[in-house]
Amino acid sequence: QVQLQESGPGLVKPSETLSLTCTASGGSISRYYWSWIRQPPGKGLEWIGYIYYSGSTNFNPSLKSRVSISVDTSKNQFSLRLSSVTAADTAVYYCVRDPSGTDSGAFDIWGQGTMVTVSS
């Protein structure tokens, strides 16, 4: 069973770019789609976007102008970049296996999440 682990800075300054990496272990990220989801403190879940192992992407229109997701299959990793961050981007960020192409059609494998705070 694949396990996911997020990594990256826990503090980002306003107007800068948030960068996170998700490393998969126990299996290959090839053949599946991989998503980023975030959760502001005390609030609900927001899907950010996904990437297929081949590199094709799909983003939430609410964030599309600021988001990019990339994949490195040689390292079994995929990464999130969110530009021009504000305090509203403060959240726990999860990397997750996307529903697309899975038997369940659900987000079935989650990382533990990493808290990112936007503050000067």
Partner 1 sequence: DIQMTQSPSSLSASVGDRVTITCRASQSISTYLNWYQQKPGKAPKVLIYTASSLQTGVPSRFSGSGSGTDFTLTISSLQAEDFATYYCQQSHNTPWTFGQGTKVEIK
Q: Does 57 bind partner 1 (CB under 8 A)?
A: no
Closest by alpha carbon to 7, among 94, 97, 69? 94
Residue (16 or 57) nearer to partner 1, CB = 57
**Judged by CB under 8 A, which of 65, 74, 104, 119 binds partner 1?**
104
Q: Is 106 in the site for partner 1 (CB under 8 A)?
A: yes
Return the residue of 60, 68, 73, 83 that touches partner 1, per CB under 8 A: 60
Q: How many CB atoms lie within 10 A of CB 52?
A: 19
Q: Where are the alpha helices (DSSP H) in the chain?
A: none
Return the number of the residue (15 or 25) whose C-beta is nearest partner 1: 25
Among the listed residues 7, 27, 46, 73, the single contact to partner 1 using CB under 8 A: 46
* Pair 118, 90: CB distance under 8 Å: yes
CB 94 within 8 A of CB 110: yes
In the complex, what is the shortest distance from the CB of residue 101 to partner 1, in angstroms, rounded to a whole number? 11
Strands laid side by side in the 18-25 sheet:
3-7, 18-25, 77-82, 67-72
Interaction between residue 47 and partner 1 (CB under 8 A): yes
Question: Where on the chain is the footprint of partner 1 (CB under 8 A)?
Answer: 35, 44-47, 58, 60-62, 94, 99, 104-108, 110-113
